[in-house]
Structure 1
Amino acid sequence: MDRALYVAMTGASETLRQQAINNHNLANASTTGFRAELLASATAAVQGPGLPTRVNAAAGTAGWDTRSGGIQQTGRELDVALAEDAWLAVQGRDGREAYTKAGDLQLDASGQLRTASGLAVLGDGGPIALPQAQGLTIGGDGTISIQPLGSGSETLAAVGRLRVVRATPEQLQRGDDGLMRSRDGAPLAPASGNVVSSGALEGSNVNLPEAMVNMISLARQFELQTKLMKTAEDNAAASSTLARMTG
């Protein structure tokens, strides 16, 4: 069979994968702290006799967009935005420590601090659970202080501290769940100083115009590749007809 069919088929398959990634980015354009996955593909030479004039498309990994999202002031006491190289430690679905920029925190019925997606937020000693209180503040270093029930506004008690780590993009890898993890599997070092801004959230870093242009471009690319597959099929049928006529 003509190798052009394989070239078109692998290209169409890779385009579908990139469409799925781009659509996932679009769907999370308003998700707090979301980091967009980058589109990528690679080429591999078609092996066999003949001139090396054709290549197959192959899956490639470009990682994730390291740009920060915009900061929005909310005034909510449980919302936190983190410094550019600071990440909030959470417990992933697999039980391992993972990192996120999603700072829209909330308390569940048992007083455990969680992200909006339900992941337990980690402190220095594990998941953070807070007692009932009249008020709550989160300091720049991640320290959580509460105003105990029945006390005045001048009374604050420190009850925990967010585990915030410092990491460069080279130290992190993005999982399929959108969470970051240490490349070597070891827990990252805690961040120091004022790395937390209370009453604010970092938005998604998805570039909407760019993602929309990518969606249109990928759709046209897929259409071209399917037309090429149809052309290869027509050529094969014409060749079979000619072979029967001359046989």
Structure 2
Amino acid sequence: MSRMMIQAAVTMNQLQNKLDLIGHNLANSETTGYKNRNADFSSLLFQQINNMNNPANAEGRLTPDGVRVGSGAKLGSVNIDLSLGAIKETGRALDVALQESNHLFQIQVTENGVTETQYSRDGSFYLSPMENNQVMLTTKDGHPVLGANGPIVFADGFDDITIGDNGLINVSRGGQSELVGELSTVEAVRPRLLEAAGDNNFRLPNLDELGYAFDEIIQNVNPSMKSGALENSNVDISKQMTDMILTQRSYQFNARTISTSDQMMGLINQLR
């Protein structure tokens, strides 16, 4: 296989990954709190071929002599866009929408016996019953929502519940208001370092490998939210469709490169 065909094949494989990413964005365009993923491409290593003994314009030349042959392109990184999406009113007491970009709720997730703190923009919360006539504030998947002092657990049997714009959770019992918890929010100072954890959640990478301290990525902030509302996805469908068309065209051009190279080699093999 020629170098040209190898370059095209490598690039086509990475373009397929971008198409998968675009499809994922489009599929979640109606998912509450979903954040758009952007793909950044980077060039692979190239080989410098010096084939000119007396290059033209040698004096003051800014580019290297000879020919630079690349190896294609790859999907360099997938970045999460934590910008604010549209806010829609729901009127539901346990629905909360964050009103600042890069702000996140904290979720406690236990998988295979390991408990970790994950982060989400989805403020659709529920109450899960517990022992001793208590309830706990959870996500729709049943994961505990973390407050200022850990999971938010309080006694059941209340008449009404409200979540204020400052994150304070109050219940009404017999006409008396009682503070039972406070939502805790954090800010992703370096949102590009967050990893998708599934279920519309994010997690921190291995900090030892990155060389960052925890507070260089995540910092506690005062809650700024809107109760009785949810945040829509920030996916721009028109932009995603445009990116999909451009990516498909790039894929077709690279496929055409392979077929053209194959035809050229066929013609060369027929020479006598």
1:212 corresponds to which letter in structure 2? M
Name stretches of at least 5 consecutive residues in structure 2 with no aligned partner: 51-66
**TM-score if structure 2 supplies the norm length?**
0.78
SS in structure 1 at match of 2:269: helix
SS in structure 2 at match of 1:205: coil
In 1, are the aligned partners of 2:136 and 2:151 still within 8 Å (CA)?
A: yes
CA change 1:93–1:21 in 2 (3 A) is farther
Structure 2 counterpart of 1:27: 27
Of all paired residues, the percent bearing the same amino acid is 28
What displacement does 1:233 show?
Answer: 2.3
Structure 1 counterpart of 2:56: none
Name stretches of at least 5 consecutive residues in structure 1 with no aligned partner: none
CA change 1:185–1:123 in 2 (3 A) is farther
Structure 1 counterpart of 2:90: 74
1:180 corresponds to which letter in structure 2? F
**Given the alignment, which residue of 174, 194, 202 partners 1:173?**
194
Check if 1:241 corresponds to 2:270.
yes
SS in structure 2 at match of 1:19: helix
Distance in 2 between residues matched to 1:189 and 1:218, nearest whole Å: 37
What displacement does 1:57 show?
Answer: 0.8
SS in structure 2 at match of 1:190: strand
Check if 1:12 corresponds to 2:12.
yes
2:86 corresponds to which letter in structure 1? G
In the TM superposition, what are the counterparts of 1:137-148 in structure 2 within 5 Å?
137-148=162-173
CA change 1:129–1:212 in 2 (3 A) is same
In 1, are the aligned partners of 2:189 and 2:219 still within 8 Å (CA)?
A: no
**Given the alignment, which residue of 49, 55, 73 partners 1:57?**
73
Distance in 1 between residues matched to 2:80 and 2:44, nearest whole Å: 23
In the TM superposition, what are the counterparts of 1:149-168 in structure 2 within 5 Å?
151-152=174-175, 155-168=176-189
Distance in 1 between residues matched to 2:7 and 2:68, nearest whole Å: 13
Distance in 1 between residues matched to 2:72 and 2:35, nearest whole Å: 29
CA change 1:19–1:146 in 2 (3 A) is same
Check if 1:113 corresponds to 2:137.
yes
Larger strand fraction of residues: 2
CA change 1:141–1:220 in 2 (3 A) is same
Using the TM superposition, name which of 139-148 and 49-58 deviates more: 49-58
Distance in 1 between residues matched to 2:124 and 2:97, nearest whole Å: 9
What displacement does 1:23 show?
Answer: 0.7
Distance in 2 between residues matched to 1:199 and 1:127, nearest whole Å: 21
In 2, are the aligned partners of 1:172 and 1:180 still within 8 Å (CA)?
A: no
CA deviations 1:65-110 (Å, max 9, x no partner) are 2321011111110000113143211124552212211101112343
Structure 1 counterpart of 2:123: 103
Structure 1 counterpart of 2:150: 126
Distance in 2 between residues matched to 1:202 and 1:31, nearest whole Å: 9
2:187 corresponds to which letter in structure 1? R
What displacement does 1:209 show?
Answer: 0.6
**Given the alignment, which residue of 96, 105, 108 partners 1:91?**
108
Structure 2 counterpart of 1:136: 161
SS in structure 2 at match of 1:14: helix
What displacement does 1:14 show?
Answer: 1.1
RMSD: 2.4
What displacement does 1:55 show?
Answer: 4.3
2:73 corresponds to which letter in structure 1? A
SS in structure 1 at match of 2:107: strand
